[in-house]
């Protein structure tokens, strides 16, 4: 049968500023969404097979259109994320904001370090958030997440301000790799 499948990071964060990357392997499918979700939305999505952004506690972007999504509503935002692209997410829980980008460029002239032009500024900070993705089993896309220790080859080797992580693109100033060493200090 075909259905939505969701997967989330094993580490969540209740505060702080976090940066992750994801490499796309395959063709974009209209039912593929990637972003962040509060713990309560993760639980709901696992039980009910839907895409991230089902409620006001999930924030994602469509790979096929670049539209951003929350509360079951899509709106124009970024661009298509294609095979071989590296998708970027910056999550600022302290200021209730999230940014999305691709291949070193933040969508809509976003500036996580400066705190401007975010995709969403309505994150409910009462919950821990997890990075994740929704794929439709009828699609052919797979992804590789990079929380600071990539499984895919990168050319740049950028770390956060504390020297943790290994990313293709520069980590925005003030943001950190999602790892246990940083959680102890910033999470």
- Summarised one tens digit per residue, pLDDT across range 62-117 is 988 899 999 989 999 999 888 889 999 999 999 999 999 999 999 999 999 999 99
- What pTM does this model have? 0.92
CA distance 3 to 136: 6
CA distance 157 to 163: 11
């Amino acid at each position: 049968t075909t259905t939505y499948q969701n997967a989330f990071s094993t580490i969540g964060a209740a505060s702080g500023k976090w940066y992750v990357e994801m490499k796309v392997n395959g063709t974009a499918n209209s039912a593929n969404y990637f972003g962040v979700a509060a713990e309560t939305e993760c639980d709901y999505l696992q039980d009910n097979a839907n895409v991230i952004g089902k409620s006001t506690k999930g924030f994602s972007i469509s790979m096929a259109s670049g539209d951003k999504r929350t509360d079951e509503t899509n709106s124009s935002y970024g661009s298509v994320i294609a095979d071989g692209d590296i998708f970027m997410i910056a999550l600022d829980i302290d200021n209730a904001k999230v940014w999305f980008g691709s291949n070193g460029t933040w969508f809509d002239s976003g500036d996580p370090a400066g705190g401007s032009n975010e995709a969403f500024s309505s994150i409910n900070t009462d919950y821990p958030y997890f990075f994740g993705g929704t794929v439709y089993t009828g699609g052919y896309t797979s992804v590789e997440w990079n929380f600071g220790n990539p499984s895919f080859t990168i050319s740049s080797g950028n770390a956060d301000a504390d020297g943790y992580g290994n990313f293709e693109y520069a980590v925005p100033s003030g943001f950190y790799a999602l790892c246990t060493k940083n959680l102890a200090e910033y999470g």
